Amino acid sequence: MLGRLLAAGHTHTLDPARADAIVVNTCSFITTAAEEAVDTILEMARFKEQGACSRLVVTGCLAQRYKDDPDLTKTLPEVDVFVGTGACDQIADVLENKTPAGLTLFPDPNARTFADLSVDRVLSNDPHAYIKVSEGCSRHCTYCIIPSLRGRQRSRPMEEICSEARSLVAKGVKEIILTAENTTDYGQDLSEDSGFHHVLEALSDQVARVNPDVWIRFLYTHPTSLTRKIVQAVKAHDNICHYYDVPIQHADTAILRRMGRPCTQKQLETLFFMIRDLDPDAVLRTTVITGFPGESEAAFHTLLDFIQEVQFDHLGVFAYSDAPDLPSHALGQHVPADVAELRHDTLMAAQAKISEQVNQKHVGKIYPVLVEENPEPGLFIGRTMFQAPEVDGVTFIYSEGLATGTFVQVKITDAFAYDIAGNAGAVCEPPLK
């Protein structure tokens, strides 16, 4: 959207008081995300009174999710236009008042394809950048609203993904992060043999030709489509991080069935064994839900045991978030919210011990670290190959002078529950595995 606005001749400001128009791009995946979105909309609405703002626009999943709810426009009368997930390409028209206030734009999200490569992306100052390899999801997890907001899976042409990556790397990006609702489902909607491992192989070669010192990472895999070929592709290419983000959501087979997740505890065990067997340097991340309807004490302990058995390097835990428009809402045996929270806390406490042990193993080792921030003199913040931005811990680097956006060798001296720290050595080239 920013790229489209700049191409149309607009400029952007990070100061909402100075903005003529404000766009709030929203999430509504879980209740807390929707609440945060509404809080932000209300906060931005103040600038229609106290700032320059004459047009407040709400885009994204919150708008799309409640598009048929008459309360949406009644509850937020400050909003001039609501724009659904299928209409973000029309953002310039919306801001230029070609879309009258009070109108809502909700075309079928399935009809939207991909970002137009002729429109330059606007990048943050971060040295990493995300690329979506597909849009939408054709799966049916019962707790998830995403398929109805984003449409069925549409994989992006491989050449387009590579072209966007080459262009980002040419602009100085040092880490390309592939995302999708499920990256490893890539190609399932295409007719030819176009599995995700082909994307990794092609991307690795093409990115390396522009700059051999760039990391490639992929997030959000699905346990049923994370294949041996994908792990072999990671192993075979020096610039692909040995990082496997595999959201399992649960480990109890009966709960997985109620979640609409087509795998069993045994299959999950086999998958993680396969990854570690083929790639001993593998770093594993997962996310799970506690308090899903029907999760008995025994089912929760199956999950807890599984987490302790696999010893994930990183774990995200969410208490189940209910909503009337979710299929899981109609399932019986809802778990009280305080029980779901207690189980969340129990898992997090177990993981804190695991993470600290995992991090202790790094003490004394030297890793390439991508330097990202300089919060105070003598201290920098960066990430190793085994730390993804925003969701994992970071590496604190003690150094007098480093440049953000470069790789440096760091000797790890301290390990904490989620972060590690060490002293900077030489700037490294090549910085990879």
Contact by Cβ (8 Å): 419, 406: no
Using DSSP's 3-state secondary structure scheme, residue 284 falls into: strand
Q: Which is nearer to ligand SF4, 283 or 326 (CB)?
A: 326
Least distance CB 261 / ligand SF4 (angstroms):
7
CA distances in angstroms from 106 to 81, 88, 287, listed in the order given: 11, 10, 31
Dist. CA 172–CA 405, nearest whole Å = 8
Q: Which is nearer to ligand SF4, 107 or 147 (CB)?
A: 147
Least distance CB 420 / ligand SF4 (angstroms):
30
Q: Which amino acid is at 142?
A: T
- Interhelix angle 297-310/265-278, rounded to 10 degrees, is 10
Least distance CB 91 / ligand SF4 (angstroms):
24
Dist. CA 314–CA 150, nearest whole Å = 27
Q: Which is nearer to ligand SF4, 106 or 318 (CB)?
A: 318
Least distance CB 319 / ligand SF4 (angstroms):
16
Could you tell me which residues are beta bridge partners of residue 315?
286
Least distance CB 147 / ligand SF4 (angstroms):
5
Q: Which is nearer to ligand SF4, 131 or 165 (CB)?
A: 131
Query: HEC profile for 290-350?
Result: ECCCCCCHHHHHHHHHHHHHHCCCEEEEEECCCCCCCHHHHCCCCCCHHHHHHHHHHHHHH
Which residues contact residue 91 at a Cβ distance below 8 angstroms, ignoring those fewer than 6 apart? 1, 4, 5, 23, 57, 59, 83
Q: Are strands 407-415 and 366-376 parallel, antiparallel or unpaired?
A: antiparallel
Least distance CB 220 / ligand SF4 (angstroms):
7
Least distance CB 327 / ligand SF4 (angstroms):
10
Interface residue list for ligand SF4 (CB under 6 A): 137, 139, 141, 144, 146-147, 181-182, 222
